[in-house]
C-alpha cells in the first residue's frame, strides 16, 4: 500500500482501481482506528491488544515481511469459571493480569511478535519463527510460570499452536487452527500443548463443509424433527417425548447429530436450528389440538448458545401464543453448560419463562462439576439423570450412589427422568428406587415425527377401546 495516498485519493480512484481502492480504504480505516483509538483497542483488564487491533497489527506485520514464517499460540484455562467461584473475581483478575504479563514478555523481547487478550481466560500470541520448537518452548515457558504463580487454585492451561505453511498467512485463520488444536487437549493433564496437524485440518474442512451446507439444508427441509418417547416404566405408557433433530442429507444420507450439532454450536447457527425444531413441535401440537386429540408434553432443547440470545424469551412466548399451545406442553431442556455459559443471564431468562408457565429440566444431570450447587440455586423443575448413573449396576457402590441420588431429588420435590435405560435389570432396579419415568432403547429409539404420531394414535385407540368395553 502507498502510505502517501490520502483518503480522498482512494475514494476518487478511477473505475479500474475500484477493488484496490476499497481494500486500501479499509486498511486506511483500520490504521486510523489503531492510531486514534489505541486505548479503546486494549483489554480493560490486562492492557493487552484486543482481537480487532491484534488482527490489524499482525496483518500489517505480515504484509511488510511476508517471507518470514509465522506461528500463532492460543491459550485457555480449563474451567476458569471455577477459579472465580472458588477464589473470587478479584483473584481471578489477578491471575489474568499475571498471564497477560507472561505473554507481554514475548511481545517486548521477541522481534515481530504481538500478544492479545481475546476474552476472559483466552490469550493469543503471533510471532515469527525459524524452527517450530521455538513455538512449543514459548508455550512450555508460559505454563511453567503459571504453575509457579502463587495462587489458591490449581490452574490447568492448555495451548494450541499453528505454524503457517504458506507465505503471508491470514492471522485469523492461524488463530482458528490453533484454537482447534487447543481444544483437542483441553482439560487433559498429560498434554500441555498440541500442534495443528493434518487430521485436524481435515476435521476443520469437514466442519466448514457443514457450515456451508447447513443453510440450504434448513431451507430445503433436510433437517427433520425426531422424537424419543418418554415412558412410565411401570405401565409402559408413553407420557411425553423429547424433540431431537436429524439431518437427512440428499447425497450423504443420515448425518449423525454428533457430527453437525457441535459445529453449529461453535458458529452460533444452532440458534436457528433450535428455533426451526421448536416451531415444528408447536405446529404438531397445534394439529393434535385441532384434531381433538390428547396433548402430551414434548420437551424442546435449549442449547448453551441461547445463553447469549436475548430474544430467547420472546421467541418462546411468541410460539406459544401464535399456535395457541400452553407453555406446560413444551418443557425446556438445558444442559449444565447452558447455565454456565452466562449464569446470571440464563437464570433470569429461565425465571421469566417459568413465570409464564414453562417448566425447566436439567439435562445430563450428574456430569458437571457444579451440578449440586445448581440444584440449590437454579430454577429447575425436573432433572434428567445421565445414563452414566445406570451403566454399572453390578457395582454395589454404583447402586448406592444412584439410590441416594434419587432419594435426594425426591426430597427436593424435583421430578426425575432416567436417560439411557436399555435392560430389564436397570428398569426393575429404578422402579424399586421409586423412579418411574424414563427414556431409552429398552422402550423406544428416537423416531421421525410421523412414527411418533402413529404410536400415540395406537395408544389413544387402545385407551378408547378399553373405555368402550
- Total structural domains within the chain: 2
Top-confidence residue, 141 or 3: 141
| Neighbour tally for 409: CB within 10 Å | 19
In a domain, 19, yes or no: no
Phi/psi of residue 258, nearest 5 degrees: -65, -20
Which of 166, 196, 226 corresponds to the end of one domain? Answer: 196
Q: Please tell me the distance from the alpha carbon of residue 339 to that of residue 374, in angstroms, as a whole number.
A: 9
Distance CA 227, CA 334 (A): 17
pLDDT score for 17? 41
Report if residue 16 sits inside a domain: no
Secondary structure (H, E, C), the chain: CCCCCCHHHHHCCCHHHHHHHHHHHHHHHHHHHHHHCHHHHECCCCCCECHHHHHHHHHHHHHHCCCCEEEEEEEEECCHHHHHHHHCHHHHHHHHHHHHHHHHHHHHHCCCEEEEEEECCEEEEEEEECCCHHHHHHHHHHHHHHHCCCCCCCCCEEEEEEECCCCCCCHHHHHHHHHHHHHCCCCCCCCCEEECCHHHHHHHHHHHHHHHHHHHHHHCCCEEEEEEEEEECCCCCEEEEEEEEEEEECCCEEECHHHHHHHHHHHCCHHHHHHHHHHHHHHHHHHHHHCCCCCCCEEEECCHHHHHCCCHHHHHHHHHHHHCCCHHHCCEEEEHHHHHHCHHHHHHHHHHHHHCCCCEEEEEECCCCCHHHHHHHCCCCEEEECHHHHCCCCCHHHHHHHHHHHHHHHHCCCEEEECCCCCHHHHHHHHHCCCCEECCCCCCCCEEHHHHHHHHHHHHHHHHHHHHC
Round the average pLDDT of the chain to a whole number and report it: 86
Alpha-carbon gap, residue 320 to 159, rounded angstroms: 45
Residues 411-450: tens digit of each pLDDT: 888 899 999 999 999 999 999 999 999 999 999 999 999 9
**Residue 95 and residue 121: Cα distance in Å, rounded?**
9
Q: Is residue 27 part of a domain?
A: no
* Residue 115, in any domain of the structure: yes
Q: Are residues 171 and 263 in the same domain?
A: no
241 lies in some domain: yes
Residues 247 and 321 in one domain: yes
Task: Say if residue 176 is in the same domain as residue 218.
Answer: no
For residue 20, is it within any domain?
Answer: no
Q: Is residue 171 part of a domain?
A: yes
Which residue in the block uniquely carries the three cell numbers 492461524? 174
Q: Is residue 276 part of a domain?
A: yes
pLDDT digit string, tens, across residues 326-379:
999 999 998 766 666 556 677 788 889 999 999 999 888 876 555 666 677 667
Check residue 7 and give its pLDDT.
31
Q: Which residue has the higher pLDDT, 263 or 439?
A: 439
Residue with cell 421448536: 278
Rounded to an integer, the average pLDDT of 201-206 is 88
Q: Looking at per-residue confidence, does 217 or 266 come out higher? A: 217
Claim to verify: residue 190 and residue 228 sit in the same structural domain: no
Q: Does 220 share its domain with 192?
A: no
- CATH number of the domain bearing residue 117: 3.30.70.270
User: Order of strands, edge to edge, in the sheet holding 69-77?
Assistant: 113-119, 122-129, 69-77, 157-163, 193-195
Considering the domain architecture, whether residues 262 and 393 belong to the same structural domain is answered as: yes
Residues 173 and 240 in one domain: no
Domain boundary residue, one of 152, 173, 196 = 196
**Are 172 and 294 in the same domain?**
no
**Whole-number pLDDT of residue 370:** 52
Same domain, 240 and 95: no
Dihedral in degrees, nearest 10, Cα atoms 38, 42, 47, 48: -110
- Give the residue-averaged pLDDT of 443-468: 93
Share of the chain above pLDDT 70, in %: 87
Q: Domain check: are 368 and 223 in the same one? A: yes
| Whole-number Cα distances in Å, 251 to 161, 226, 255 | 35, 20, 10
Residues 182 and 60 in one domain: yes
- Of 152, 175, 196, the position where a domain reaches its end is 196
Question: Does the predicted model carry a pTM greater than 0.95?
Answer: no
Q: If we measure between CA atoms, which residue out of 241, 275, 245 comes closest to residue 259? A: 245
Number of Cβ within 10 Å of residue 116's Cβ equals 29
Mean pLDDT of 205-212: 87
More confident residue, 80 or 113: 113
Q: Supply the CATH number for residue 224's domain.
A: 3.20.20.450
C-alpha cell at 48: 493487552
Domain that holds residue 292: 206-468
Instruction: State pLDDT tens for residues 59-94.
Output: 999 999 999 999 999 999 887 777 777 778 888 888
pLDDT number for residue 48 = 94
Residues 67 and 167 in one domain: yes
Predicted confidence (pLDDT) at residue 267 exceeds the cutoff of 60: yes
- Kindly report, residue by residue over 139-193, the tens digit of the pLDDT: 999 999 999 988 877 888 999 999 998 888 999 999 999 999 999 988 777 889 9
Grid coordinates standing for 324? 395457541
- In the predicted structure, residue 319 carries a pLDDT above the cut 90: yes
Q: Are 359 and 331 in contact (CB under 8 A)?
A: yes
Amino acid at each position: 500500500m502507498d502510505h502517501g495516498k490520502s483518503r480522498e485519493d482512494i475514494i476518487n480512484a478511477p473505475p479500474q482501481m475500484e477493488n484496490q481502492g476499497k481494500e486500501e480504504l479499509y486498511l486506511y480505516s483500520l490504521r486510523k482506528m489503531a492510531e486514534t483509538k489505541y486505548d479503546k483497542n486494549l483489554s480493560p483488564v490486562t492492557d493487552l491488544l484486543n482481537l480487532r487491533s491484534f488482527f490489524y497489527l499482525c496483518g500489517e506485520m505480515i504484509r511488510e515481511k511476508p517471507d518470514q514464517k509465522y506461528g500463532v499460540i492460543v491459550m485457555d484455562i480449563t474451567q476458569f469459571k471455577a477459579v472465580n467461584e472458588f477464589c473470587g473475581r478479584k483473584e481471578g483478575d489477578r491471575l489474568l493480569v499475571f498471564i497477560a504479563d507472561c505473554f507481554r514478555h514475548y511481545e517486548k523481547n521477541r522481534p515481530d511478535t504481538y500478544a492479545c487478550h481475546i476474552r476472559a481466560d483466552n490469550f493469543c500470541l503471533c510471532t515469527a519463527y525459524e524452527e517450530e520448537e521455538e513455538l512449543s518452548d514459548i508455550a512450555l515457558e508460559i505454563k511453567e510460570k503459571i504453575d509457579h504463580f502463587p495462587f489458591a487454585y490449581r490452574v490447568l492451561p492448555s495451548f494450541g499452536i499453528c505454524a503457517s505453511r504458506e507465505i503471508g498467512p491470514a492471522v485469523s485463520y492461524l488463530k482458528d487452527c490453533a484454537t482447534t488444536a487447543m481444544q483437542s487437549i483441553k482439560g487433559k493433564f498429560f498434554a500441555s500443548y498440541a500442534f495443528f496437524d493434518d487430521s485436524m485440518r481435515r476435521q476443520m474442512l469437514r466442519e466448514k463443509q457443514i457450515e456451508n451446507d447447513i443453510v440450504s439444508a434448513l431451507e430445503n427441509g433436510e433437517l427433520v424433527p425426531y422424537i424419543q418417547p418418554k415412558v412410565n416404566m411401570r405401565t409402559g405408557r408413553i407420557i411425553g417425548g423429547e424433540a431431537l433433530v436429524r439431518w437427512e442429507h440428499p447425497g450423504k444420507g443420515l448425518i449423525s447429530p454428533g457430527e453437525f450439532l457441535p459445529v453449529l454450536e461453535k458458529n452460533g447457527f444452532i440458534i436457528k436450528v433450535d428455533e426451526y425444531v421448536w416451531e415444528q413441535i408447536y405446529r404438531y401440537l397445534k394439529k393434535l389440538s385441532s384434531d381433538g386429540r390428547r396433548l402430551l408434553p414434548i420437551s424442546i432443547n435449549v442449547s448453551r448458545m441461547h445463553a447469549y440470545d436475548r430474544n430467547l424469551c420472546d421467541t418462546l412466548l411468541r410460539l406459544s401464543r401464535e399456535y395457541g399451545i400452553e407453555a406446560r406442553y413444551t418443557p425446556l431442556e438445558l444442559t449444565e453448560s447452558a447455565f454456565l455459559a452466562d449464569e446470571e443471564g440464563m437464570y433470569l431468562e429461565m425465571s421469566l419463562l417459568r413465570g409464564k408457565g414453562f417448566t425447566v429440566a436439567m439435562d445430563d444431570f450428574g456430569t458437571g462439576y457444579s451440578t449440586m450447587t445448581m440444584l440449590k440455586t437454579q430454577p429447575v423443575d425436573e432433572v434428567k439423570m445421565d445414563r452414566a448413573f445406570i451403566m454399572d449396576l453390578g457395582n454395589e457402590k454404583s447402586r448406592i450412589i444412584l439410590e441416594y441420588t434419587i432419594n435426594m431429588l425426591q426430597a427436593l420435590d424435583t421430578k426425575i427422568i432416567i436417560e439411557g435405560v436399555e435392560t430389564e435389570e436397570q428398569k426393575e432396579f429404578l422402579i424399586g428406587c421409586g423412579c418411574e419415568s424414563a427414556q431409552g432403547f429398552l422402550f423406544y429409539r428416537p423416531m421421525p415425527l410421523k412414527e411418533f404420531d402413529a404410536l400415540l394414535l395406537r395408544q389413544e385407540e387402545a385407551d378408547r377401546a378399553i373405555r368402550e368395553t
